[in-house]
Each structure stands twice: as C-alpha cells, then as structure tokens.
Amino acid sequence: MRVVTFDIETANWMSDVGSSDPADLTIAIVCIHDSETDTYSSYLEPELSQMWPILERTDVLVGYNSNHFDIPLLNKYYPGDLTRIKSLDIMQEVYGAIGRRLKLDSIAEGTLGEKKSASGAQSLQWWRAGEIEKVRAYCLKDVEITKKIFDYALAKGSVKYQELGKAREIKLNTSKWLSKSGGAMTYTLGL
C-alpha cells in the first residue's frame, strides 16, 4: 500500500487574503514522504505538476489538519479532485477520540519526545524574506514528524500529548487506516 505523508507551507495567510477559506491562500511549497520509495521530496508552487503522478498512484494521503486545510488548498491547483483519494487526518482522528483539537507540536512532544523546528508564522516570514531553503527544511521536518506519529499510532494504537508537563495517552482505532478505498486517479497521467 502506497502512503504519502504531506504538508504545505503557504506564501500568504488568511489576514492577507481577507478570507478564512484555506483555498484562497497561495501555496509556497508542498513536501511529501512517499512510502513506495521511502524518500522525501518537495515541490514549489510552479513544480506541483511533478507531484500529481505520485498522488494519483497513492492509496492514502496522511497529514495533520489536512482535511480542513491542506487538501482544500492543494485541490485548487489539481486538475481533478484529490478528495477521491483516501485521506487520513491525524488531527481529525485525535479530535474524534478526545473531542478537541491539539497542535502537532503537542502530539510530537508527547509521542516522540521532539518538537517542531519552527512555526507556520516563522515559515511565512522566511518565505517573504526569500529564505526558501529554511521553509523547505521546516516543511520537510513537519512531514517527518507527521510520518513518525502515523507509524507510532499504527504500531501502538495510540498517540500521546503533553498537557501541563505530563504525557497523556489517546487511544486511536487504526484498524481501517490502511484499508483500500477510493478510485484510481488518472487526471494528469495521459492515459
């Protein structure tokens, strides 16, 4: 089963576009981990077409807050409909288990004992300053953390988060995370 873990950094923010719709933003970069090749890669906004063939052959898209933010934004650029690919939003899974949203950093610290390398606000500052490699490194690190959390949850059936200096466990039903669903994607393959 091919799993692509991904994250997006934007070139602007909601206050810049006067909207709360993620699809109104502009993509700066998308970073992915492809389980088929066990590699990380990144795509600046003009390079997104190079990523479509990978996504079209993906069984599951994994992200953090991806169903609400990343997929609607990425779908704006894609010539088809990415919602046809099965997606697993770890934030949504956590919300379903405990009834509240938690930051990726809290889950990373509790589950993996590591923290994110920066914040989305810092990434946007780097982007605006032309520091593209810093944005790329930050986005790739978020993908790595999300992948590690996904792998941990599959192995243990739970994740942990930090609250008031104490690690708390969240049980997750991962039994269907890797089940097949969705249809074949062929919008850019030229078939």
What CATH number should be reported for the domain holding residue 81? Answer: 3.30.420.10
Those residues whose C-beta lies under 8 Å from the C-beta of residue 73, and which sit 6 or more positions away, are 8, 10, 22, 23, 25, 27
Amino acid code (one letter) for 65: N
Q: Which residue has the tokens 């599959």?
A: 154
Q: Is 37 exposed, middle or buried (0-12, 13-18, 19+ CB in 10 A)?
A: exposed
Which has more pLDDT, 63 or 16? 63
Whether 132 is covered by a domain: the verdict is yes
Whether 115 is covered by a domain: the verdict is yes
Q: Is the pLDDT of residue 187 over 60?
A: no
Q: Which domain holds residue 141?
A: 3-171
Whether 11 is covered by a domain: the verdict is yes
Whether 141 is covered by a domain: the verdict is yes
Average of pLDDT values for 34-49? 97
Q: Is the pLDDT of residue 20 over 70?
A: yes
Q: Is the pTM of this model over 0.85?
A: yes
Whether 63 is covered by a domain: the verdict is yes
Whether 64 is covered by a domain: the verdict is yes
Q: Is the pLDDT of residue 190 over 70?
A: no
What H or E segment, with its residue span, contains residue 59?
none
Q: Is the pLDDT of residue 77 over 70?
A: yes
Whether 176 is covered by a domain: the verdict is no
Question: Domain tally for the chain?
Answer: 1
Query: Which parts of 35-185 are beta strand (E)?
Result: 39-44, 60-63, 86-89, 158-163, 166-171
Whether 191 is covered by a domain: the verdict is no
